[in-house]
Chains A and B, each alone.
Chain A
């Protein structure tokens, strides 16, 4: 294993620390958004603080849940579906 590999392996063991940094970063961004707004709103609602946070979170959740829980069960087949049907 290379030195870089060992470093990354060591980082894996500290995932809680990275989780904390990630969540703190999100809080920091939301706080920054309270003070920093677009010069000119492009979508009307984006003038309000928290719009892009909510947009990213809700779109991400909806995309994963709808695609994995509703759409994929309808359109998925076995891994070798086309090979078997040829």
Chain B
């Protein structure tokens, strides 16, 4: 363990301090305070020296709040940047509770990233779950309320798997330490912990919470959520489960599954949610393959993904804010009225598609090339298929049907978009382009040493990407009438979860209701009669027994008192007569007994 110092400013502190003071602040100026915790976080992660910080004893256990190394730093860095962009984007929001919950959530993500043990990780993991649930509920409509409950239920179950795993592990090895497992010898407790992580990483088929909940969050809340939950899970998977084969397969399945559903979805934020599943799939697959290049690819893609996905959700958030809907069948023909939203959205859309000049190009290709170099050909092909689907739905379909399709729409009522929302988007766009142009901006922070450096800007890499994306565009052109979105609900695995939920509900409720009915009847017939008889017996006992003894004693004392009072007449002759009579009586008794 490195030297323990106290000079590390844990980014969580700033966010939680703001969450605590925000309810007591008045006026308008408090909004500028929203930028302080992210600014402190950026300063902290850019200046900190790797090491172990903030060790404390809790319930006899040593907890480590600040494990700072290259892996935690690259995630913390992008979390800090994204929290700043997200707060800028949310500056216009008057509802303080939204900001408080965003702080709880983001602070939790930093807590998880720097956690040196599983117990600390679990605590912050659950705080994230609470904060994000509120970011859904605070949309304050019936659909978001229900979606929030389902989201919380999912994450509670995921958290329970993590808790069971860490407790079983503690029993087996006697420590809560959070280190890499042996990928070839996973114990039962390792699997439980992995399952808990996989819920948050939205690994198929545990992913249904994501496209269910993210589209229902607040405009600004979903921007935070798309950045932190799944990427925190990617971080912990990378920290603990690199090289676990099942993740390589599951990740590739996620890549393809997400794009297939996005292809048929109508709601823009749901399309993006399915693309989180797909893009996180690249990261999970890279972690599962477990070479230095794929691990670095996963880290780089997580970094790039947070920036462009945040920008994508900001763009669709603008649509929701202005037009009141993100359903593509209701949008269209808005490009001349929301030109900057379209332009900034397109920066993110081209980034996620892996177009040269944008940051997805320098991150996605690293994972795919790493998979191919590791001779995982089918996995690499799966990722290329996902790349085609990504460009089809996020790169072309979504902007085409939201902005371009249909004649110019001048009748739809659009709410003016606050300037700060544009500022937030512009910051994200600048970073997406800058990283695409200067890959070293990102590569210098990659955590693993590679045998040879990866250079994305080779002529062949560029040509291959342009060929793939260009002809995917041609496929869209040919099928543009087929891919037109329709107002439908597409059943996903959550259909089965809901079915199971209803089954459990019925199983629990119906027998309990039957037992309750029978018990009420039995009580009415037997229990109530018995109780009445018992009550009568008690009354009789009280009257005849208790009252006789207690009341009799009281009356006796009272009568004796009355008699005594009467005997005390105050006349001397009466006392002498009484004393003589008493003496005579005593004398007679003594004489008789003797």
Contacts and interface: CB of A to CB of B under 8 A. Distances in A.
Given A38-B460, A60-B392, A55 B337 contact: no
B479 A61 contact: yes
Contacts of B385: 59, 63
A76 B490 CA distance: 4
Contacts of A78: 488-489
B369 A42 contact: yes
A26 B335 contact: no
A76 B491 contact: yes
B109 interface: no
Nearest to B489: A81
Nearest to B479: A64
B336 A68 contact: no
Contacts of B335: 5, 8-9, 12
Contacts of B417: none
A68 B471 contact: no
B483 interface: yes
Q: Which 7 A-B pairs have the closest CB atoms?
A: A60-B475, A56-B471, A42-B372, A76-B488, A9-B336, A52-B467, A57-B471
Contacts of B260: 63, 67, 71
Contact of A36 (B381, B463, B478): B463
Interface size class of A (residues with CB under 8 A): 35 or more
12 contacts: A8-B342, A12-B336, A46-B464, A56-B475, A63-B392, A67-B263, A68-B482, A72-B264, A76-B264, A76-B488, A76-B490, A82-B498
Given A5-B339, A52-B467, A55-B468, A64 B490 contact: no
Interface string A25-60: 110011011001111001100100000111111111
Contacts of B567: none
A4 to B, nearest CB: 4
A63 B460 CA distance: 26
Contacts of B466: 29
B578 interface: no
A25 B473 CA distance: 12
A17 interface: no
B263 A56 contact: no
A52 B275 CA distance: 22
A69 interface: yes
Nearest to B404: A12
